[in-house]
């Protein structure tokens, strides 16, 4: 094997020449999009499951201070958007980050990025489809048409979730019932889904039917044509923007500023817990770049569309977060439908119903954009020979990548049978962040290359020579001032287990010992004793240092609440990777005066990757290994660059 072949690059002239030849051969996509349409696609992709679902968990963890996480994430995405815009102005084709990496780093990295983007678009759509299903089922329950005898439409639980969620939830529910604990509504639904599902022999038929239905419908629309997709997206964007603005305006009258105190109840660590959820709320702006070949003026309009979409959505996210945390206490927001929840709590049921309708529309638009983006990535990879030729087939009538669109529908639909929301969301985020990091690194490489091709848009240059070392020192100082506990805990060889993990191993005597240790120093709220599991209530209200203190005062075995050694260190590996790379990049900035914006973009995305945990890194690594097996088994020898060099 010639390892130099792994890093063979496509030149911009080659790409543009191939694009022109396809146009002459009537194999091109239909050019329909302007900057307004691109901005609309960006908003359609960004405002979806994030604002209607995951924002609740992020707000519960970080309190009102979650707005700072939205700002930080927006800045990080803005840095990445600059990098995307620079590449898009230079290489106006549908491959997005895949094609950009082919130009900057070579074929192997291009394949890795293309493979990782499946996690953003296809896997991301699994998340959105599941969230869409939850909102749609909730919406059906509030439909009342007395004339027709309809007082809410109830979909059986076995038709609203995946197989493994129901099976595992059933086992957890049985354990709680045996302990005499009361089941939550969510746990009751999982219990019913498994116990009431139709069966074939011993196999329980459990499938999220609404999620499958929306995937099929959206795939059919995307297959039909870009003009139809654009029109549907524009209509849905107008609807959801109107509702989001209505929520902000009406909610502002119900804000109680006392709910904003304390502003950061769980400190910086609490705010950063929401990184995955908040970043997921921004995923999608880069999908605009996959439509480059369908833009009338991609080199001018793509950069504008990305920036406009990020700015508009950031403003709306910050306002929504402030309104939500002002209307109710942040402690109550850890729900799947936070916007609808707060208005129901304030007895504004009509507005709650309107939000449910808007959420269904909003998430439909996200599925639409992602289902549109993935086939165009595969089409570009197929044109380069890295995937079978069938993937680049353009429908003669609809002018869309028809075969790739159908395959995307299957890739998104099949996992809905067995994957749950939380698992897929983090996998999607880590794949996207990896792509963002490499695109930013690609701009750094281009800007330091005197022979780099010309591009119509360039990321503004700020010399990082002295700024990066200063920022590194400032970050360390701020950590020591504002997050001293987190900073010192990072170097400890022993740490408290996750609260759910602790609860799973405590026996009846342990609960008694822990309660005895707490009551010797604390006067507990009488309401807490109404909960069958008082320990769980205490753990939810105390911070980790207090919890560890009371466990150490009790006679409970230390292994039940503490972890140490490799078990602690393995969770720190992503952070050490980030720290080492940050130090190395800072040294390179001092030596080579790199451009500041793409450097900050790459490091901020890498930092968000480090917050996703070792389990997601392992999953992502396995995904990449599978991709590399396919590359070395098929793509490398079938690459057009390989066949050209051989001939």
Kindly report, residue by residue over 187-242, the tens digit of the pLDDT: 888 888 888 888 888 888 888 899 899 999 999 988 887 788 888 888 888 888 88
Measured in degrees and rounded to the nearest 5, phi and psi for residue 255 equal -75, 130
Q: How confident is the model at residue 25 (pLDDT cuts 50, 70, 90)?
A: very low
Among 551, 532, 221, CA closest to 369: 221
C-beta of residue 93 within 8 angstroms of C-beta of residue 19: yes
Structure tokens that stand for 217 in this block? 């419908």
Tell me how far apart the alpha carbons of residues 111 and 464 are, in angstroms, rounded to a whole number: 30
User: Using 50, 70 and 90 to split pLDDT, how confident is the model at 647?
Assistant: low
396 is written with which tokens?
């003669």
Q: What is the CA radius of gyration of the chain?
A: 26
Q: Residue 28 — very low, low, confident or very high, per pLDDT cuts 50/70/90?
A: low
Query: Which of 530, 568, 538, 532 has its CA nearest to residue 554?
Result: 538
Cβ of 498: how many Cβ atoms within 10 Å? 10
Of these ranges, 159-163, 401-405, 494-498, 530-534, the one predicted with the greatest mean pLDDT is 401-405
Which residues, 6+ apart, have CB-to-CB distance to 370 below 8 Å? 45, 120, 121, 122, 124, 125, 128, 284, 287
SS3 564: strand
In the structure encoding, which two tokens stand for residue 351, read together?
């507005």
Cα–Cα dist 286/38, whole Å: 11
Check residue 166 and give its pLDDT: 85
In angstroms, what CA-CA distances link 502 with 399, 561, 565, 610? 56, 5, 18, 24
Answer yes or no: pTM beyond 0.85: no
| Helix, strand, or coil (residue 145) | strand
Alpha helices (H) along 490-613: 499-505, 508-519, 534-541, 544-553, 566-592, 596-610
Classify residue 452 by its DSSP letter: P
Q: Which residues contact 68 (CB under 8 A, 6 or more apart)?
A: 271
pLDDT of residue 596: 92
Which tokens is 504 given? 């799973």
Q: Is the pLDDT assigned to residue 343 strictly greater than 50?
A: yes
Of 12, 82, 52, 111, residue with least CA distance to 363: 52
Distance separating the N- and C-terminal Cα atoms of the chain: 17
Residue 333 in contact with residue 324, Cβ under 8 Å? yes
| DSSP-derived 3-state class of residue 66 | helix
Quote the Cα angle for 267-273-278, to 5°: 115
Q: 3-class SS at 401?
A: coil
In 3D space, the residue among 48, 53, 131 whose CA is nearest the CA of residue 361 turns out to be: 48
Length, in residues, of the chain: 647
Please check the confidence at residue 576 and state whether its pLDDT lies above 50: yes
Distance, CA of 621 to CA of 616 (rounded, Å): 8
Token pair for residue 399?
A: 């002018």
Distant-in-sequence, close-in-space partners of 266: CB < 8 Å, separation ≥ 6: 61, 62, 63, 273, 543
HSE of 521, CA atoms in CB hemisphere, 13 A: 10
Calculate the CA dihedral of residues 398, 404, 405, 406 and round it to 10 degrees. 110
pLDDT tens profile 539-562: 877 877 788 888 888 888 888 888
Round to whole Å and give the CA distance between 52 and 317: 10
Euclidean distance between CA atoms 325 and 56, whole angstroms? 9
User: Nearest-CA neighbor of 291 among 84, 46, 542?
Assistant: 84
Predicted local distance difference test score (pLDDT) of residue 26: 47
Do the Cβ atoms of 76 and 608 come closer than 8 Å?
yes
The answer to whether 279 and 608 have CB atoms below 8 angstroms apart is yes
Q: Report the C-alpha gap between 89 and 443 in whole angstroms.
A: 12
Average pLDDT over residues 80-89: 82
Name the pairing type of β-strands 144-145 and 150-151: antiparallel
Q: Which residues are CB-contacts of 316 (< 8 A; sequence separation ≥ 6)?
A: 47, 51, 241, 244, 245, 248
| Most confident of the ranges 79-93, 137-151, 607-621 | 607-621
Helix (H, G, I), strand (E, B) or coil at 284: coil
Residue 469: the pLDDT is 95
Confidence band for 50, pLDDT divided at 50, 70 and 90: low
Residue 272 in this model has a pLDDT that exceeds 60: yes
Residue 47: which of 219, 283, 373 has the closest Cα?
283
Mean pLDDT of 440-458: 79
Give residue 2's pLDDT band: very low, low, confident or very high (50, 70, 90). low
């Amino acid at each position: 094997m010639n390892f130099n072949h792994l890093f063979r690059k496509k030149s911009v002239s080659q790409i543009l020449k191939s694009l022109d030849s396809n146009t002459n051969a009537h194999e091109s996509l239909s050019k329909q999009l302007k900057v307004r349409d691109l901005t609309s696609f960006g908003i359609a992709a960004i405002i979806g499951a994030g604002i209607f679902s995951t924002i609740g968990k992020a707000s519960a963890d970080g309190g009102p201070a979650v707005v700072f996480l939205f700002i930080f994430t927006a800045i990080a995405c803005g840095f990445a958007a600059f990098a995307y815009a620079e590449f898009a102005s230079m290489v106006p084709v549908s491959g997005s980050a895949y094609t950009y990496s082919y130009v900057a780093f070579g074929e192997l990295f291009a394949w890795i990025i293309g493979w990782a983007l499946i996690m953003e678009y296809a896997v991301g759509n699994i998340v959105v489809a599941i969230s869409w299903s939850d909102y749609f089922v909730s919406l059906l329950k509030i439909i009342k048409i007395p004339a027709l005898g309809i007082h809410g439409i109830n979909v059986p639980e076995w038709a609203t979730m995946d197989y493994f969620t129901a099976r595992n939830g059933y086992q957890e529910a049985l354990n709680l019932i045996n302990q005499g604990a009361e089941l939550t509504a969510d746990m009751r639904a999982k219990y019913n889904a498994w116990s009431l599902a139709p069966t074939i022999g011993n196999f329980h038929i459990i499938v999220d039917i609404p999620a499958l239905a929306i995937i099929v419908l959206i795939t059919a629309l995307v297959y039909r044509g870009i003009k139809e997709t654009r029109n549907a997206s524009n209509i849905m964007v107008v609807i959801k923007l109107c509702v989001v603005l209505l929520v902000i305006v009406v909610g502002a009258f119900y804000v109680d500023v006392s709910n904003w105190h304390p502003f950061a109840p769980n400190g910086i660590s609490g705010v950063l817990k929401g990184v995955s959820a908040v970043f997921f709320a921004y995923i999608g702006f880069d999908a605009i770049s996959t439509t480059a070949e369908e833009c009338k003026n991609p080199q001018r309009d793509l950069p504008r569309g990305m920036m406009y979409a990020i700015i508009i959505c950031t403003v709306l996210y910050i306002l929504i977060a402030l309104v939500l945390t002002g209307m109710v206490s942040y402690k109550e927001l850890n729900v799947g439908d936070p916007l609808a929840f707060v208005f129901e709590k304030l007895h504004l049921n009509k507005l709650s119903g309107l939000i449910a309708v808007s959420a269904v529309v909003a998430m439909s638009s996200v599925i639409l954009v992602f289902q549109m983006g993935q086939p165009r990535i595969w089409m570009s990879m197929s044109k380069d020979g890295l995937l079978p030729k069938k993937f680049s087939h353009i429908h003669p009538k609809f002018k869309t990548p028809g075969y790739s669109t159908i395959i995307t529908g299957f890739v998104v639909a099949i996992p809905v049978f067995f994957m749950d929301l939380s698992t897929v969301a983090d996998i999607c985020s880590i794949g996207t962040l990896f792509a963002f990091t490499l695109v930013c690194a690609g701009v750094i490489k281009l800007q330091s290359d005197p022979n780099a091709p010309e591009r119509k848009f360039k990321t503004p240059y700020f010399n990082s020579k002295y700024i990066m070392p200063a920022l590194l020192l400032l970050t360390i100082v701020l950590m020591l001032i504002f997050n001293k506990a987190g900073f010192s805990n990072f170097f400890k060889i022993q740490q408290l287990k996750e609260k759910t993990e602790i609860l799973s191993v405590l026996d009846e005597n342990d609960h008694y010992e822990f309660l005895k240790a707490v009551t010797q120093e604390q006067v507990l709220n009488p309401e807490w004793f109404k909960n069958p599991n008082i320990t769980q209530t205490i753990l939810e209200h105390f911070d980790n240092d207090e919890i560890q203190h009371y466990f150490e005062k009790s006679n409970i075995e230390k292994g039940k609440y503490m972890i140490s050694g490799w078990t602690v260190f393995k969770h720190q590996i992503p952070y050490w990777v980030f720290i080492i790379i940050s130090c190395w990049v800072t040294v390179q900035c001092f030596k080579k005066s790199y451009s500041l914006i793409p450097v900050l973009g790459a490091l901020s995305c890498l930092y968000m990757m480090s917050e996703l945990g070792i389990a997601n890194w392992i999953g992502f690594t396995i995904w990449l290994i599978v991709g590399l097996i396919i590359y070395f088994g098929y793509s490398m020898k079938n690459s057009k660059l390989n066949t050209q060099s051989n001939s």
